[in-house]
């Protein structure tokens, strides 16, 4: 009997368009001799919509419904995704997808699901909380200031400038795909950047800007954790923003990264340590900065990284000998293992 895979995509966060691309990739790569797939779209308002049942690879030109194209008559109660023995793949990024909320919902439904558990998702989605956890296990990070109460902003701007210097990067604590992030070169820009980040979250992180290469490590596992050789995001822009990530396609990936073995091994160790510290389950992409003088900083952990066939995470595993389709199978196994341990 084929196993049932339930794909959830879209979602309420500003990263919903990235999710559509990841979900279409998964749907096209699944081994249909082993799986049949139920797909559900979550609209930007949070409604669940039945988006099809797939028994075979869809045509390359077929596209999943989006907020512009979905069939309103197919809206259904969220809990109607339930099916006994099915495994859910929440291919969702950002708040309400990667932050523990959908994971909590799936726990209540008693469905096994791929990816982070509630703690792993919520801690890594909140960049401020994540910093505290990484600190506690001695994983190096760039100096930062956390704004958790926007009322204190006026005094904090001066204090922050003094502590971090310029440039700084200003980020909403809960987001991804560089949404709401800006670089500030002076106090006036810092004030504007805080305002911009504040559109997405009331918790804001300000970091010292570093001149660094961006190196990423893929991690997979529950209790037993495996990591990959790192890859580099090679870019001709200093700031890997939304435009360069998804619109201009102005990056290439160097896999494995052209750095010495000692540095790569150190990064893998930091990645695994940080992953364990956040109660890592399923998968994560750990993003590092490697500065021009060889310093390593962990930038962040993405608990549900971009998952198209051309995304860094699956490509890092391909370099380790695990194909995209096998990676999906492995993730299903990890989901079932995690589920059976809890029951």
Residues making contact with ligand ATP (CB under 6 A): 142, 169, 171, 175-178, 181, 207-210, 214, 239-240, 287, 299-300, 302
CB of 121 to ligand ATP, least distance (A): 13
CB of 242 to Mg ion, least distance (A): 11
DSSP-derived secondary structure for 204-242: EEEEE---EEEEEEEEEESSSEEE---EEEEESSSS--H
The partner in contact with residue 178, picked from Mg ion, ligand ATP, none with C-beta cut-offs of 5 to 8 angstroms by kind, is ligand ATP
Q: Rounded to a whole number, what is the distance in angstroms from the first to the last CA of the chain?
A: 23
CB of 237 to ligand ATP, least distance (A): 8
CA–CA dist 12, 42 (Å, integer): 7
CA distances from 55 to 27, 35, 39, 70 (A): 10, 8, 11, 21
Q: Return the residues of window 223-262 that contact Mg ion according to CB under 5 A.
A: none
Longest dimension (CA), the chain: 64
CA–CA dist 18, 214 (Å, integer): 20
CA–CA dist 194, 187 (Å, integer): 10
x/- binding map, residues 289-308, to Mg ion, per CB under 5 A? -----------x-x------
CA–CA dist 17, 324 (Å, integer): 21
CB of 72 to ligand ATP, least distance (A): 31
Q: Which is nearer to ligand ATP, 193 or 325 (CB)?
A: 193
Do residues 301 and 290 touch, judged by C-beta distance below 8 A?
A: no
Q: Under the criterion CB under 5 A, does residue 287 sit at the interface with Mg ion?
A: yes
CB of 55 to ligand ATP, least distance (A): 33
The partner in contact with residue 42, picked from ligand ATP, Mg ion, none with C-beta cut-offs of 5 to 8 angstroms by kind, is none
Q: Nearest residue by C-beta to Mg ion?
A: 176
CA–CA dist 106, 111 (Å, integer): 5
The partner in contact with residue 181, picked from ligand ATP, Mg ion, none with C-beta cut-offs of 5 to 8 angstroms by kind, is ligand ATP
Q: Which is nearer to Mg ion, 176 or 209 (CB)?
A: 176
Do residues 196 and 263 touch, judged by C-beta distance below 8 A?
A: no
Q: Which is nearer to Mg ion, 286 or 325 (CB)?
A: 286
Q: Which is nearer to Mg ion, 196 or 336 (CB)?
A: 196
* Of 121, 163, 139, residue with least CA distance to 281: 121
The partner in contact with residue 82, picked from ligand ATP, Mg ion, none with C-beta cut-offs of 5 to 8 angstroms by kind, is none
CB of 238 to ligand ATP, least distance (A): 7
**Would you say how long the chain is, in residues?**
343
- Among 176, 230, 231, 314, which residue interacts with Mg ion (rule: CB under 5 A)? 176
Q: Which residues bind Mg ion (CB under 5 A)?
A: 176, 287, 300, 302
């Amino acid at each position: 009997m084929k196993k049932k895979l339930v794909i959830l995509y879209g979602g309420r966060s500003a990263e919903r368009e990235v999710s559509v691309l990841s979900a279409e990739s998964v749907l096209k790569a699944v081994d249909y001799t082993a799986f049949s797939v139920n797909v559900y779209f979550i609209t930007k308002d949070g409604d669940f919509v039945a988006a099809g049942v797939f028994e075979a690879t869809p045509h390359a030109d077929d596209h999943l419904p989006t907020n512009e194209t979905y069939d309103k008559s197919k809206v259904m109660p969220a809990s109607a995704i339930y099916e006994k023995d099915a495994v859910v793949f929440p291919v969702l990024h950002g708040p309400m997808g990667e932050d523990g909320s959908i994971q909590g919902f799936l726990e209540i439904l008693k469905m096994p699901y791929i990816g982070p558990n509630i703690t792993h998702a919520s801690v890594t989605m909140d960049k401020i909380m994540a910093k505290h956890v990484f600190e506690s296990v001695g994983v190096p990070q760039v100096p930062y200031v956390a704004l958790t109460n926007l009322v204190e902003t006026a005094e904090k701007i001066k204090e922050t400038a003094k502590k971090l210097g310029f440039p700084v990067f200003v980020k909403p604590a809960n987001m991804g795909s560089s949404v709401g992030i800006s670089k500030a070169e002076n106090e006036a820009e810092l004030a504007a950047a805080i305002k911009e980040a504040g559109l997405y979250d009331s918790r804001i992180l300000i970091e010292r800007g570093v001149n660094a290469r961006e190196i990423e490590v893929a991690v997979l596992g529950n209790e037993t954790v495996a990591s990959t050789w790192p890859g580099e995001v090679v870019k001709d822009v200093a700031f890997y923003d939304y435009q360069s990530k998804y619109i201009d396609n102005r990056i290439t990936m160097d896999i494995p990264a052209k750095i010495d073995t000692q540095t790569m091994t150190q990064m893998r160790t930091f990645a695994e340590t940080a992953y364990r510290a956040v109660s890592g389950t399923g998968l994560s992409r750990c993003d590092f900065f490697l500065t021009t003088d060889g310093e390593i900083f962990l930038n962040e952990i993405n608990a549900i990284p971009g998952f198209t066939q051309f995304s860094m995470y699956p490509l890092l595993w391909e370099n380790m000998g695990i194909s995209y389709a096998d990676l999906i199978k492995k993730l299903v196994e990890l989901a079932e293992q995690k589920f059976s341990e809890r029951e």
